[in-house]
Amino acid sequence: MVSSTSSSKQRYCPALDAIVSPQRCGEERVTRLKCPLTCPFNPFNPDAPEAFDAIVGRGMTGATRWLEKTVGQEAWADCFGSMERRFLPERDLPLIAYEAQWSLLDRALRQGDLPQLKEAFAGSADSLRNDARIVIEKLAGSQALLIEIVVADDALPYYTARDVFRPEQEYLYVDFGDQEPLEEGALMFGRFLRHENCLYVIPGVFVGTADATDSIVAAILDYLPDGSALPDSMQNKLPEIWNLCASIQDELDSESGEILQGSAPNPNSDELYAAKLELAVSKLDAVSALRANPVFVEVDPPEFGVDPFGESVFEAHVLPEPLPPSEEFEDFDDEQEQPIKVGTLRVFGSSLEIRSLNPAELGLLKALVQELVPCQ
C-alpha cells in the first residue's frame, strides 16, 4: 500500500505509518485517511496555517465552480440573489456566497431536495479533486454558532471558545486570517467549519465586544423564542441573526463615538466607521511619514511640498496574504492578487481622521497610524 514513486518530495504519513508520494497524500488526506491533527499536511492542523491557506483556500474555489456547474447558472443566481436580499444591508459578497452554497448543500443532503446535486455529490469522487471534496463535506456539515472567547493567548493562532447557548461545549477556535487579535469575552457569530473539536471561520464572521453579549443573546431568544432548540434553530436563520448582532454592536459603537454620526452615509462609500486623532507633530511631518509607508497612497498630491491649509487625503490599501509555494502541497495556479482598499485617511492642520468599512479595520489602521505619526 506504500507508494513506489521515487521522489525526493516523498513524505511521511502518520495515518499509514509509511512514506507516501505527495500525489497520494493530496488525493486521500482527510477524506480517505484519518489524518491526525499534528500532521503538517493536514489542512486543519492548528499549527499549519500554510496548509489551510493552500488546501482549503483552493478547495473553496473548486467547490464553488462545481456547485455552480451542477445546479446551473440560473439556479445558482437565484439562490445567491435570495441570500443577498436576506443579508441586506450587509454587502460582504464572500459571506453571501458561502451561505448560498451551504443552503444548496443543506437542501440536497439534509432535506432531500435538489436531486441533481445529491446524485452528483454521491459520485463526486470522479468529478472533484480531493481539496474541493474536503471543503464541500465540511461546508455541508458546518454550523452557525454564537461563541465566546474564554482563553486568549497572543502567541498562538488559536483560542479556547465556548458555545454561548451550550456553555459546556468548548472548542479550539483557529484563526489563520488577518483578524485583529481577540480578547477574552469577545463574541463571534457566523458559520464555522468544524474538524474534530476545532472551529475554522468562514470569511464574514461577526465579531462583537463582551458588553454586547447580553443584548445579543436576548435579541436572538426574542427572534427564536424556542430557547430549548438553540443553537440548532439558528442554522437556517444566519443572515437575519447576523444582522441582529451587527445592529446591536453598531448601536453600542455609536454610543462610544466610533460610528459616524449625522446624515446618511454616502451611497458610493462603505466607510461607516471613523476615528479622529490629534497630531503631536506638524502636518508636514505627519504627511511625510505617511508618504513613506506603502500602505498609504496620497490622492492628488501637490506637485511640491504639503498644502498647509487644505487637507491631505490618503487611501489605505493592503495586499491579501500570498499562498505558500505550490510544490509543498499540490499543483495549483496562483492568481495575481489585487490590492484591497481598507480605508481613507484625511490629514488636517492639527488633526487627522481615519475612516473604514468596519471596526476591525478601523482599529488596525489606527494602530498603524499611531506607529507612524505621534498622535492621540
| CATH, residue 213 | 2.40.50
Give 268 or 77, the one with higher predicted confidence.
Answer: 77
Measured distance CA(83)–CA(287) in Å, rounded = 43
55 and 120 both lie in a single domain? yes
List the one residue out of 50, 79, 366, 356 whose CA is nearest residue 239.
Answer: 79
Condensed to tens digits (0 to 9), the pLDDT of residues 323-367 reads: 455 455 554 444 445 677 888 999 988 889 998 877 778 888 988
Residue 268 domain-assigned? no
Q: Is residue 265 part of a domain?
A: no
Claim to verify: residue 150 and residue 251 sit in the same structural domain: yes
Q: Is position 261 within any domain?
A: no
Which residue in this structure is represented by grid cell 439534509? 110
Among 109-118, 181-190, 320-329, 336-345, which stretch is predicted with the lowest mean pLDDT? Answer: 320-329
Residue 100 in any domain: the answer is yes
Q: Would the pLDDT of 69 be above 90? A: no
**Domain-terminating residue out of 92, 120, 140:** 140
Given 124, 140, 156, the domain boundary residue is 140
pLDDT of residue 333: 46
Asked if 121 and 187 sit in the same domain, the reply is no
Give the range of the structural domain holding residue 53, as residue numbers without chain letter. 43-140
Percentage of the chain lying above the pLDDT 70 cut? 85
* 154 and 125 belong to one structural domain: no
d(CA 25, CA 33): 9
pLDDT, tens only, 88-106: 877 788 889 889 999 999 9
Q: What pLDDT, in 10s, does the model give residues 135-148?
A: 888 998 999 999 99
How confident is the model over 286-309, as pLDDT tens digits? 999 999 999 999 998 887 788 777
Rounded CA-CA distance 220/74 in Å is: 33
Highest-pLDDT range among 225-229, 319-323, 370-374: 370-374
- Structurally, the chain folds into a number of domains equal to 4
Which helix (H) or strand (E) segment holds residue 326: the answer is none
Q: What is the mean pLDDT of the chain?
A: 83
Whether the per-residue pLDDT at 260 is higher than 70: the answer is: no
The C-alpha cell of 125 is what? 469522487
Kindly state whether residues 2 and 21 are assigned to the same domain. yes
- Say yes or no: 89 and 130 in one domain: yes
Do residues 167 and 251 both lie within one domain? yes
Whether 132 and 147 share a structural domain: no
